[in-house]
Amino acid sequence: METETKPNAGQEWQIGIGGMTCASCVARVERALKKVPGVVDASVNLATESARVRTAAAMTRELLAAAVVGAGYEANWPSEEPEAATGPTAQELALQREQQHLIIAVLLSLPLVVPMLALPFGVHWMLPGWLQVLLATPVQFWLGARFYRAAWGAVKARSGNMDLLVAIGPRPVMGSVSSTCCRRQRRTSRRRCISRPRRW
């Protein structure tokens, strides 16, 4: 159960920020933190995924965390107690999960990329459209779900970032491929109906 922290005046806070991907994210988190009453300065580092906040008035973790969450990101606080080295840390687990997702994404995307790389060598072969959609859908909406979540946070904050561009970019392609598959399927069904002999 979380307990509310006591206000601290004139203190420097170190906050872990999760979900940042570009300089636009950094600027949005800094703006959100600087808007908190009592905050003198806020500096966000994308490489270390952390923020350093200086306050001149009474401040609590809850107020700073609410500003970060309101901007569409995660606020993490460094543990005050040393962690027992009995297992992987949360950061290590997150890295392992990202590596697993990367491997899955590569395996699903290779059948789509290899035919395009072979085109300059005169090899004209592509997977059926329905199979392309089947392979691309989990990459787009499962492995790429974090881009949609971050893009939604940017939309709510009335701002733009790289995640928003990534989320918007593939949508027309997916729609085009799906539409082409549907049209081909209808044409195939129509031809079968026409070529089917009638029984008198």
- Spatial strand order of the sheet with 39-45 comes to 39-45, 50-55, 12-18, 74-76
Q: What is the largest CA-CA distance in the chain?
A: 93
CA distance 132 to 148: 21
CATH says 12-76 is which class?
A: alpha beta
Express each pLDDT in 79-125 by its tens digit: 655 455 566 776 778 788 889 999 999 999 999 889 888 888 888 88
pLDDT of residue 107: 94
Express each pLDDT in 14-60 by its tens digit: 998 988 888 888 888 999 999 998 899 999 999 888 999 998 877 88
- Answering whether pTM is above 0.75, one says no
pLDDT of residue 179: 66
Q: Any idea what the Cα angle at residue 81 is, between residues 78 and 85, rounded to 5°?
A: 95
Express each pLDDT in 135-162 by its tens digit: 888 988 888 888 888 788 777 777 777 7
Q: What is the mean pLDDT of residues 63-86?
A: 75
Bridge-partner residues for 16, per DSSP?
50, 76
